Amino acid sequence: MSSAAAKPKHQPGRHFLQIPGPSNVPDRVLRAIDRPTMDHRGPDFGRLGREVLDRLKPVFGTEGPVIIFPGSGTGAWEAALVNTLSPGDRVLMFETGHFATLWQEMARKLGIVTEFVPGDWRSGVDAAAIEARLAEDSTHSIKAVAVVHNETSTGVTSDIGAVRRAIDAAGHPALLFVDTVSSLASIEYRHDEWGVDVTVTGSQKGLMLPPGLGFNAVSEKARSVAKTARLPRAYWDWEAMLGINPTGYFPYTPATNLLYGLNEALILLVEEEGLPAVFARHQRHGEATRRAVRTWGLEVLCRNPAEYSPVLTAVMTPDGHDADALRATILERSNMSLGNGLGRLKGRVFRIGHLGDFNDLMLVGTLAGVEMGLATAGVPYTKGGVQAAMDYLGGNR
């Protein structure tokens, strides 16, 4: 057999999936998905649908409706835009990283005029800049402000409460859209309290599911605006969903088996571990990871400690050392996947995911894989990062 046709080498043990999503799926959720598909028009499905839609509300921090689409976070982005805006409407957006950039590009393709405030990919949204820009907009030409809560490409979290206060201080009627694809169910989030009009997320990160579901939580203001919005929509139409969702059903075929898994994941998050404990766990793991990085003598991409992400840590490699080569070494030697640098960060950073179904021992194993990889790849570092993380974890339960 030629080398080109040779089978991949078997690596014993479980693969460490430490990218910042898709995250590890709990075995209980996998078992829930692995059930016979039920009739999505039958009575059992209606009960399941009502349970799932009700259990989602505390995760979003809302008393209002949450819409579930068979799709991805990208589809949920589009749903937020097409249900509320018309061709030529202006939206204020912020370049916090790769995913903020992609959302802005989607808006432009849909015929929306975007004001894209440039950023350094190391900082979150500047609430003062929002207030100043909206205060200038006396004609209220800006119809929405769209921000990413946790920028998956950078490990930077923006203060959504501060964004809401800025909009209110300017006395501006703009809608507030928030991407929570990598933050929901991992970082505390308050859709209602923060006056968010559309919250966007996906299934494959904090909700601990495979990819395949996209979500919108919507305010009454957003639903009212949707009545006169003129961007075309069919599959993504909210009202088609909201008209039938109170019965637990969907207007077209739902991702039935993923809904089994979602219900089980919500039981784990909300009813068994409890959301405050989930959020605290992510904070602990983020801090332990950063302590390891600092001990190694490497630099965390996020500049402002107040904006550190509990979900992932993006780490800069020293000049002259390719982050992708390091990732490849770690994959080959330790059977562990780390996140790559996206967009302008390609080859410059690697991303350690510490979210979802994750505990202290898994984090220590992850950091050990990174520390061994640094040595093998010849990246200059100082030993002791794993020990620094263990010292922190051992003293902070």
For residue 218, pLDDT beyond 90: yes
Residue 235 and residue 69: Cα distance in Å, rounded?
9
Which parts are annotated binding residues for substrate?
351
Burial 64-98 (b: 16+ CB within 10 A, else e): ebbbbbbbbbbbbbbbbbbbbbeeebbbbbbbbbb
Residue 3 has pLDDT above 80, yes or no: no
Nearest to 70 by CA among 203, 263, 166: 203
Query: Dihedral of the CA atoms 161, 163, 169, 170 (nearest 10)?
Result: -160
Predicted confidence band of residue 2 (pLDDT cuts 50, 70, 90): very low
> Which tens digit of pLDDT belongs to each residue from 357-366?
999 999 999 9
Q: How does the average pLDDT of the chain come out, rounded?
A: 96
- Please report, in range form, the residues annotated as the binding site: 351
At residue 12, the pLDDT reads 86
Instruction: Record the tokens describing residue 314, joined without a space.
Output: 């993006």
pLDDT tens sequence across 24-81:
999 999 999 999 999 999 999 999 999 999 999 999 999 999 999 999 999 999 999 9
- In whole angstroms, give the CA distance from residue 395 to residue 390: 9
Q: Which residues contact 328 (CB under 8 A, 6 or more apart)?
A: none
Residues 6+ apart with CB under 8 A from 16: 334, 335, 336, 337, 362, 365, 366, 369
Q: Is 339 a residue whose pLDDT tops 90?
A: yes
Predicted confidence at residue 256, as pLDDT, reads 97
pLDDT digits (tens, 9 = 90+) for 147-164: 999 999 999 999 999 999
Predicted pLDDT at 395:
86
376 pLDDT tier (thresholds 50, 70, 90): very high
> What does the pLDDT look like over 231-287, one tens digit per residue?
999 999 999 999 999 999 999 999 999 999 999 999 999 999 999 999 999 999 999
Could you give all domains of the chain from N- to C-terminal order, each with its CATH number?
13-23+275-395 (3.90.1150.10), 27-270 (3.40.640.10)
The pLDDT of residue 1: 42
**pLDDT at residue 178 tops 50:** yes
* Cα dihedral 61, 67, 71, 75 sign: negative
pLDDT at 264: 98
Instruction: Give the model's confidence band at 6: pLDDT under 50 very low, under 70 low, under 90 confident, else very high.
Output: low
What pTM value is reported for the model? 0.96
Q: What is each CA distance from 291 to 294, 371, 396, in whole angstroms?
A: 5, 13, 13
The answer to whether residue 396 scores a pLDDT higher than 90 is no
